[in-house]
Structures are given as C-alpha cells and as structure tokens.
Structure 1
Amino acid sequence: MELFAVNRYDETKLTKNDEEAQEELILQRLQRSFQEKAERRKQRKKSPEPQGDEEQQVAAPAEPEPEEPAQESESEEDEKAEPVVEEAKEDESKGEEPAAQAEPDFLVLGDAYFKKLKQVEEILPPWLSHPTVIDSDLSKKGKSIKKLGYLDDQVKANLKKLGFKRLFPVQETVIPWILDAHQKPTPFWPRDVCISSPTGSGKTLAFAVPVVQLLLNRIAPAIRALVILPVKELAEQVFGVFEKLCEGTKIRPLLLSRKQTFSVEQSKLVARFNGEYIPKVDIVVTTAGRLVEHLHSTTGFTLKHLRFLIIDEADRVMDQIQNDWLYHLNKHVKQESDEYLLGRAAGQLSQSELFDKPRQPHKLLFSATLSQDPEKLNTFKLFHPKLFTAVSDPAKRLAALV
C-alpha cells in the first residue's frame, strides 16, 4: 500500500549528531535555571526579613527521548522551562506588598462602608416659599369693627351679636384681601387663597365674613358658596357661624351632615316649580361624604352658579380619599355647565375667552397645619395661589420672611 504512504518529514529529518547536540543545549539551559534558583534561595536566607516556611518543589526534568524529531524537542523544552519561570516570578512577588484595591465609582451600602449622604434641599414653589406672614398674637388689639368701612352695617351688627368688637390678626389681613380681589373687572380672576393658622385664631370668620358680604346683593337664590369639612361636628360649628352672620339678610345657609334625614335635606336644597327645579339656598355647609351622596341622588342639585369653594381643615379633607369627592364634584360640574370646576385648558387669547367664559370658583383653603407638599396641593388646581401663614414666634416670623 505504498500509494497511501506519505513521507512528510523526509526533507527536514535530523541526523543523530544533531539530535544529541540539541539535547545537550536543553540540558544546559535547565542547569543554568537551577543554579540561578539556588542562588536566590541563598540570598533569601541571608536577608533579615523572614520568608515563608513553605518549601518550593521543583520537578526533576525528564530525559528527552532521543528518537523524537527536533521540533518536538523544542516544544518539550518550552513546557519544562515554563514552571521554572513561574516559580521565579512567585519568589519575586513574595517580597512585594499587594497593590491597594481601587475604590469603586459607586456607593456600596452595608456594614463595610459608611458615609453621610448629602441632604437634599427642599425646593418649593415661590408662592409657598414666600408667604405673607401674619402675627398670631391675639393679645394685640386690632381695629374696631365699627370703624371698618369695607363691611356692611348688617354684617357689623351680626358680628357684634357674636361678641366680636375687634378683628383678630388673621381676619384683619385676609378679609379685606378677599374683598379687594373680587372688586377687579371680569378678565381678572381672583387668586386662590391658602391660610395656615393655628386653631383658635379666627379662621372661620376669615372666610365666612367676606362670603356673606359678597352675597348680600344676590338676586335669586342659588348655591354660590360650598363649604367642605372633614367631620360633621366641625360642619355644625361652621354652619352656626354662617347662620348668625346671615341674620337680617336674604342669604340662606344649609347644613348637610346626616343630622337630618336625606329626604329632608333634599326638600331644603331644591324645590320643583312648573316642572323645573329651583335652588332654595345660597350657602351649603357639608362633609365630603354627604356631598357625594347628594351629587348622585338629589335631582336638581346643581353647582353651576358656584362662586366660592371653601375647604376648612384642608389637610384632613385631602386625606379622605375613600370618597374621592373631588372627582365626583368636578364630574358633576362638567356635566352641568361643560366647564371644569377645578381648572380647564385655556383656549386662544380672545375676547370670548376672557369675557364670555364663566369664572371658576374662588378656592379658599384653611388649615392649622397646611401641607407644603406641592403634589397634594396640585390636586385642587389652584389658580395663581396666595399663601398666608400665622407665626407667633418673632424669630420664626423673621425666618419665614427670609
């Protein structure tokens, strides 16, 4: 079968003398490396620094087979020389200190690394960060109610019946501001108001007096003021104030708080005449839950004439998410007048947009601890809001102004 025999190495085949010379060269290289290694060991023993007690083992070189070709001998030489070089590198690296690990460019949380994080600075909208500060010291005497020229005589008389001779600082600041905001012509909407004042500072009269004053000249009854409170006990107190302020006027307030049956409240809200429903009251004081019930179940109950939306104890009312009263209120007004109660997208600037479109209700938010969370306050869609805050400590008052 010589046809399949291929002699690939006939031309490069080495003689016996060449093989012996190659083997001697390999042995010389190995002996030289062994000698260098022995010298390094002697130097380490003489040096004062202690070295490891581990004994380094060097495998004895195997004798090369004389019959293999020269190319295989060279590869065998490399294989034997590699462990020697690696051992030499290990010996040299023992005297060197390990390099310091580079710190990661990210923060590792846990027991191994502690660092104080930078405190994020609170960034508030300008109207929250620059409020109008009111002195809440009730011992200071304000102006006498008799000398207030912006209030009607009947309102002054009713305030006197309530036992008030002078206004508190919150009332003295907020009442004229609200009245002045409604004296501007039609294109200028009044700015929504947020009042943060402690309990007992006179917040109720701060919104009740201007509402009654502005509704004195109304022509026909319609729900023009809606006051929402978190619980029925507070609703009854606020209704009592409105009831006394409206004495001797045409304004009719009504309380919706489960104190009466639902059918009785419906009969006091609206009346049916010639097939149409006519509102019978001007001011509605209610809780959020009771309001939602009447929005869905009272026929003829409409808020399309609403001018004031007042939310007392706003923080507590905002937490009443279970009723979702804001959604139902906005949806009701949208169905009645094709307008959103809590804001609508403005069209192109035109005369019809400025004069023909109805005004949105003036929103007044009152609370002893008004939230400064812009996300919560954004649910009310406040229009260019104005913040009044009452601070009793002079140092805190100065800090609020800064």
Structure 2
Amino acid sequence: MAPAKDTRHANKPKKSIENPRILKRKRNETELSTIIQRVEELDPKIRLESFSELPLSDPTSSGLTASHFKSLTDIQSRSIPYALKGRDILGAAKTGSGKTLAFLVPVLENLYRKKWTEYDGLGAIVLSPTRELAIQIFEVLRKVGRYHTFSAGLVIGGKSLKEEQERLGRMNILVCTPGRMLQHLDQTAELDVYNLQMLVLDEADRIMDMGFQQTVDAIIEHLPKTRQTMLFSATQTKKVSDLARLSLQDPEYVAVHETAASATPSTLQQHYIITPLPEKLDTLYSFIRSNLKSKTIVFMSSGKQVRFVYESLRHLQPGIPLLHLHGRQKQGGRLDITTRFAQSKHAVLFSTDVAARGLDFPAVDWVIQLDCPEDADTYIHRVGRTARYERNGRAVLFLDPSEEEGMLKRLEQKKVPIERINVKAKKQQSIKDQLQNMCFKDPELKYLGQKAFISYVKSIHVQKDKEVFKVKDLALDAFASSLGLPGAPRIKFIKGEDSKLQKNQPRALRYMSSDDSDQEEGEKKTKKKDGVRTKYDRMFERRNQDVLADHYSKLINDDGTMVDQGNGINGDADEDEEFLSVKRRFAAGDDALGDSDSDDSSSSHDKQKSFNDGDKAKLGKKVKVVKISDAAEPLIIDSKRREKLLQSKKKLLKYKGHSTKLIYDDDGVPHEAYELQDEGKFRADGDAQTQRAKFLETEAERNRVADIEDKELEKQKKREKKEKRKAKERALAEGENGVAVLAGEEEFVDPFQSDRSDGDEEVSASRGKKHVPEEEEDAPRQSKRSKKSHKVESSAKEPLEVNTLEDLEALATGLLA
C-alpha cells in the first residue's frame, strides 16, 4: 500500500508544473482567435475614436498606453481597419496628422496574429526617403512595440556595413532608406526576403521621385509579389503608373483631407513677403534679431547656401543659438544636430529639404522659406514642421518679385491659403557692409559665398517650372554684392545660353549690341576715374576671383598654367588700361630668339646683335635675355607676355630641348631607358640568331673582364689587411722596448723612453689605446699577454730618483695617471 501512495504523491508535482504552461498556451490561443474574429467582424466604414475600440493585442495596447497614445486621428481611424484586414492602402493626410502610427500598428498586429518568430525571417520593411525620418520612425516603433518579442533594425547610410550585415539575418522588422536597403539586398547573403509580409513606403511621393525611382524598382524586384503594401504621404496622388510599378492589389485610397478647404493645418498662419533677391539676407537677419525667444527653421535650396549663411550669421552673433543641417554632413553630426534642435527652447536651424518631410520637432514657432520651393507640395511639407498635432504655428515665404505671380498660382491650385505682409522699415537692418568686410578679411568665407551664389543660381536654372523661376529676371550682380562678394562669379551654363543666342542673332544686330556694350564700358571707366578709390573698390575690381584660401593657391587655369597669387599673371585691375594695346609679338620659333652669350656661334651672335640694334630701338624698352637650363637658345624677354612665360612651366617646355628619360639600376647608376629597336633596322643588322650569338659573346667577354677586375680588387684588399695586421704586431713588439706606440699606421717616440717609470709606462699604454682604430681592436692574444707581462715587469722595478725638473714632471704624470 505504501508504494502506491508514493507513486500518487510523485505524480502530483508533475501536474502542477505542466498546468501553467498549458494554461498560458491555451490562453494565448484563445486570445489570438478572439482577435482574429474581431478583425473579421470589424467594419472599416465605422468611425472609431480611441485605440481601445480597435481589435488589438495586449502587447500593442500596452505599448500605446505607455507611450500616451489614446485617441485616434482621422488618418488612423480610417486606414488602420483596412490595414488590419490585409488590404493594400494608399493614404494621404496633412502633415502632423499621425501617419506613422497608421502603418506601425498594423505591422505589429499582422505579424503578431501570424505568430511571427525570429526563425521566420524578415516580416516587414518600412522605407523612408531620409535618414532623419527613418530614425524617427524607428524610435516610435521601439516605444509602441516595447512589449512585443519582435526584433527590429535600423538600416541607413553612414554606419558600418559589416555590423549591419551580421545582424540582418535575425531581424523581423526593418526601417531603412532605399539606397542602403538595395545595397544589402544585393550584397548580404544572410538577408532573405522570401517570406516578407508587408512593405510600407512613408512619404511615398518623395520616394517615387526621379532620384529614388530606379532604386525602388530594384528593391521591389527582390520582394515577393504576395505581400501587403501601404503608401503614405502628405501629398499623395492616384497615379496608375505608380500603382502598377508597386504591384498594389486593389488598394484602398484613404484621403482624409481631400475635401478640406485647405491642404495645410487650420492652426497654421501662412504669410509671404515680397523681397528682392539682394535684400533677402538683410531681411532674414532682421527677423532673427526681432525673434530671439522663438524656435525657427529656415529652409534654403542648397547645402552650400546653408553653410555660408550659417557661417556668416555665426560671426555676426545675433544672440540666439544657430544650427545647420544638410545632406553632406556625416550621419553622427546630423543626428546630433536634430537632437540638439529638438531639445532646445530657442534656436534657429538653417536646413535644406532634408528636414522638410516627416520630422517631428516639438514646439517649432516659425518656418521661414528663404528660397522659393520647387513646387506646392514641397511648400506643404516645409510648413508642416510647425503647427503639428493641432498646435499653433507660423510660416513666412520669401518671394522675389519675379516669382510672386507664378508661385501664388501654384499654391492656390493646392488649396493653400496665404496672405501678404510687409516688413517694418524701422526694424530692417543691413549687413551688406559687414559681410563685405568679413569676406575681404577671410578668404575661406569668400569661397563659401561664391559656392553659395553658384549653387543658388544653378538651383533656379534647373527648375522645370519656368513660369516661377526666371534666371534672367534676377539681379545676380546685386545679389553677389549682398553676399559680400567682390563681383559675381562666372557661371558657365548661363554664358553658354547667351553665346547660343548671340550666334543665332543677325550679324548687324550683333554689331549694334557690341557697340552699345563698348560705350557702357567706357562710361563706367570714366566714372571710376573721377571718384576716390577705396580698398573696397579695389577689391571689387580684382580679376582673380577664384583663388581664395591657401589650399586653393595651386589651382590650374584653363590654359594649364598655375594660378598666380602676386602681381604676375593675374595682376591688379590697373592692367586693364592696356588691355587692347598692340605689342610686338614673336613666334616661338622666330629667328629673333637668338643666343646672347659670347661663346655662341657667330650666326646667332649676329642675329642677336641685329635684334639689339634695330628692334630694340623700335620698341624703346629694355630687353633682357634669360638663359634657360637645357635650352638650345636663350629666351628674349621684350614684353609682358614674354615675361609671363617665365611663370609657366608648361609653356617654357617649348623652349627647352628634348628630354631623355633616365632609369636607375640596382647600384643607383642612371642610364637611358631601354626602347625597342625598329624592326627594319633590326633586320638590317642580320639574322636574329646571329645577333643573339654576337650579343652573348660580347656579354661573356664583358663578364670575364669584370670578373678579373673583381678578383684583383679582392686580392688588393686582402693584401692591405695583412699589411695592417703585421704593422700592428710590429708596433706592439717595439712598444715593449719603449720605442713606438701604434697610432693608426704612424709611429711616435716616447719622450721618456730613456728614464721611464711605472707611470710613464701606463701613460704610453693609455695613449696607444686611444689611437687604435676600430678595425684593429681584435689583436692577437699574444700581444695582450705581452702587455700584461710588461706591466708586471715595470711594477717590479724601483721608483725613479728625482734629480731634475724633467724627472719631477714624469713622476707627477705617473701619479696622475
């Protein structure tokens, strides 16, 4: 009976251990089946107001509650039900309306309902056009999905490719940029997308632009066709070509604000200012100075403009923190700048369109568009950085008079309400003189200004909408002056168009236009001569506008010559007075270019003499003759054009002789490079076998002679070494008798050899040791023994009697030693 009791007691604990696992599994299965049933019964047309009304799992609901997301926005309430049912979605909503959660919640829920694990591979991909937006989406995913067991990864450029490759094989959800994702699809073997369930494109219209079109096409070729695809953007359009390319299957078009009176939030105040191009920077600086307690984003068209405006205003110190963001910065710096701007209360961020889409900076007060946006969609995305989530915000657009009519028409078509405002003249400040002073003192700032000028004009030139952007109507010279530049830099693409127009003009009209331009130039010169020239006037008249900083001093001109920093090639503007004056010219091979040295031939001397007597008198100028190394004849410098040749190594090559290429053998001996002989000459010398035998015979004879010389040299060295050794032994033997001490190969007589004492012996020995060369240090052991015996004998002798002064000196020397 007792064993039976024991068996019953032994079975009870097993049941208690297994029951919790079984119960938990059953509970999860019941919950999952309940969620699936609720999703099937969900009616997408019914408007829901909170996340608790949606059929969501416990991990997702807990993540939303912990992140303080409770109520649904319009885009979320209309798109999430369709997404939970597995439908493809094409969503459009205003900026700041919560589109990120509209696709992240369905991604988490769909993978959870399919019991996705790390062994199932990659389940969802979220594509973003910019790195900053991808980082923001990833942070929201981490907050909402903190209670899920999925693994998520961020794949963007600017990070280590190997580290990403090691982790990609274990990821369930990837947030990435198109370029880096395509790179991993092509190169990473561990990344397998055969089981992909969902593809999300945030800011889809930007991703579908020409810059990303080929990349997106290549990514989609790697993905399976049976998947759920969702596209979201603030400015979405129903393009059949886009839908076909992304292989959407019966998509649900969700346009929340399509019937709204405005495409922008109602809490956003939008204004525009008519500001001529040269006054833009003055107006911007005045605005920043009058809004020091606000948070502002300033949008520009190019990264080089952002850099110049940031550096310029940073030197002026307006009294508010300044930041700048553009695409050429490293990823770590971009992330640091966005974080600092998001955390600061009062700051100004100068940025390109990198920050125009999707980024959520809290509490932005102003959005300033210093440069006109390329279209109305870009305008909507830019102003969307403020007035987010029903907060208040303000936006100001700077327009040149030539851009006003066309841009206002485009904004009206997109339902963007905008009003004109004026700038108060009392608060307007001019920074033109300060910028000129800074550019004059700082060459690098001037270089940034030139690049900013060129990039702005290029951005206007490449725009497709020519009704808005008119390069010819812009005051480019005044704009360059407002940037602090001493004149407008050369712009090749505009000059190219001008040359085409001039080429197609009638000949008479071309001459008339050229005469008018000559008259205008003459009037300008007379006006300049009348007034007093200041240092700024001289700065504006400089011709060399492209050489700026130290590291640009080695630039090369179009003709191949080095750019001159002094008064040589590119001198001061005073040279313009002689720009069209006629000077005597000599061709490169002219007979007048003779030798001036007295040792030259008589013919060249006669030519030089005739030149000095005749042409020098005609020129009335001092002619100097320069002897160039490796040149057959000297160079005669009789004009400024010839003087400039001395500063161009490339042009001086014409007057030098033909150089020969030298190569160095193993011994460091230079000789001419070996070149293949002409085939005709080679055959004229005889048959190949005959020439080969002759060559071998001569080489063998040369080697035999060289061998004999080497042997003789070796014998000589041995003989000299033997003689040195014998001389050393002889010197040591004589040293025992006090006659000679070795000093190299010379001998000297000891002055105390007749009456030497113990000290004398030690002095002579020490002196002899000092003068022994290094190669003779290895003396035979016999000589060492003889030295020791000599010391013993000398020490055994009696001390020397002191009778004379010489004996006293010898004794003192011995004691000192």
Q: What is the TM-score of this pair, normalised by structure 1?
A: 0.50
**Bigger proportion of residues as helix:** 2
Q: What is the TM-score of this pair, normalised by structure 2?
A: 0.25
